Amino acid sequence: MDVERQQMIIEECVNRVLEPEEDLELVEVALSGRGRTAILRVYIYKPSGVTIEDCVRVNRKLSRELEYKPELESNFSIEVSSPGLDRRLLTRRDYERAVGEILSLMVVGGEGKVRTVRGRLTEVEKETLLLDPPPTKRSGKRKRNPAGDPIRVPLKAIREGKIEIIL
């Protein structure tokens, strides 16, 4: 069986396991290795934060669900966790979860030039992110961007996006 088909079956199983779970949603499924060394990593999200109990419960249910899938070619270790604060934002849904956070985006411009765009994510539109511009430095003091206009970033122009972790 090809890897894409195997991944699809696993994602269907994960979604079935998460369906009755309140507030839990699938972020990403990653399968690495083959045979006895295969590892299935499942990343889940919950607005109030993923707990160890959530991970254990999903792991047990998923283990039982996958046990009855003979079409899957290998046994694998299952790891369930939250995606972590420093994880790359990959999908539109990742950005929707990050509304209100300060983002750092690597954006590809018209001539193929890559630039960094920073700002607080205020809205995710159909094909665009809206960011409040960060304060700018003038005369040694931090001042708000005088125009105050939101920065519009097309989703398809983003090469990499991350939430900035400010300690």
Q: Which of 77, 71, 79, 75 is nearest to 2 (CA)?
A: 71
In the chain the domains, ranked by start, together with CATH numbers, are: 3-84 (3.30.300.70), 89-163 (2.30.30.100)
The mean pLDDT value for 111-127 works out to 93
Q: Using CA of residue 162, residue 125, residue 28, residue 45, what is the dihedral sign? A: positive
**pTM tops 0.85:** no
**pLDDT at res. 141:** 52
**pLDDT at res. 66:** 87
**Percent of the chain, pLDDT > 70?**
89
Q: Residues 69-89: pLDDT tens digits?
A: 877 766 788 999 998 877 889
User: Residue 10: exposed, middle, or buried by beta-carbon count in 10 A (0-12, 13-18, 19+)?
Assistant: buried
Q: Residues 20-64: pLDDT tens digits?
A: 888 898 988 888 877 777 899 999 998 888 999 999 999 999 999
